[in-house]
Amino acid sequence: MDRTEKEAWEQQIGFKSARADFDALFDEYDKLESYEEFLAFKERNQSKLKFNEMDEDDCSIDYPFATGYFLPVLNSDGIYKAGKSIVKYTMEDQIVIADGDINKLKNLNAFMDDEMIIVMSKLKSTSTITNGIHSFPEDNPNGTTNSWHRKPNIGGRKLKNELYIDRYLIWESGSVWKSGYYIYLNQHGQKIRWGKWRNYRTKYSITDIKIKVGSGSTFQDIRVHISPERKPSVNFYLNHYEIITPYNPGYLSIPSVSFAANVTFRGFGFNSWNYYTIENPESYTPGGTNNYPANNWGW
């Protein structure tokens, strides 16, 4: 769905999502005309949004939840309900109230010994890359080691590709639990404005996907996937696994993930020679070249 279709769907069911709140804030952000206005915007929304405090030249914004995958069904407090379970995302944690008792969520500290409450810190793999599986710093097409990728001869644009896993746990009834995970690639493009890096609305593309999860077989998809215009980023779904467990609940362990694809976004171009390869961590080389060619055209 595009934004208009999502808003119509939410209105039809009487729901306002975190995505809707975020889009409204992003509309305000898009109208900022100077770095000084951005600083005032940041001051007003410090508790509502996530800012990059590590780089004063990065004026990006993000929603302050430990997941991006579930934004369309989270409410503005980061909460959704699946079956009997209530799930809340904070900036750092995923909190599950398995029996759906909202009073436990409202007074969490008083119920921390309750077996129906599960708190899991922000999702991390054994990789040294925080908050995800891999961010491909070694695949930067300009030759430097950096998670934000730049291309030769294309100024004012950069792209970050981050491979994530979101795990979930849902209580069905009695001793029956549903546990699973989603693996997805998040792509986030930025451009220079007011002399600083900013998020903006753009299209993303991925093709020649190869992914292997755990001991499973390698899945290949040679189609070209181009997103609708998105800001600040887009998630490309890659893998979903789910099991029903009639015993003590527990989150699934994070499996090994080998992945490769050719990627780009508008600003880097959509012609075949504008794609470049990202890989993690084994050499699943997609079709085409593994190096970014010199004869590039920017948008």
Q: State the pLDDT confidence band at 285, using cuts at 50, 70 and 90.
A: low
Beta bridge partners of 86: 81, 97
Res 162: pLDDT = 93
Per cent of the chain over pLDDT 70 is 90
Q: Each residue of 68-88: pLDDT tens digit?
A: 778 888 998 899 998 889 999
Q: Where are the domains of the chain?
A: 127-299
Per cent of the chain over pLDDT 90 is 42
pLDDT at 290 over 60: no
Q: Each residue of 178-219: pLDDT tens digit?
A: 889 999 999 999 999 888 999 988 999 999 999 999 888 999
Residue written as token pair 């490769």:
260
Q: Measured between alpha carbons, how far is 50 from 34 in angstroms, rounded to an integer? A: 19
Burial 159-187 (b: 16+ CB within 10 A, else e): bbbbbbbbbbbbbeeeeebbbbbbbbbbb
Q: How far is the first Cα of the chain from the last one, in angstroms, to the nearest whole number?
A: 25
Res 30: pLDDT = 86
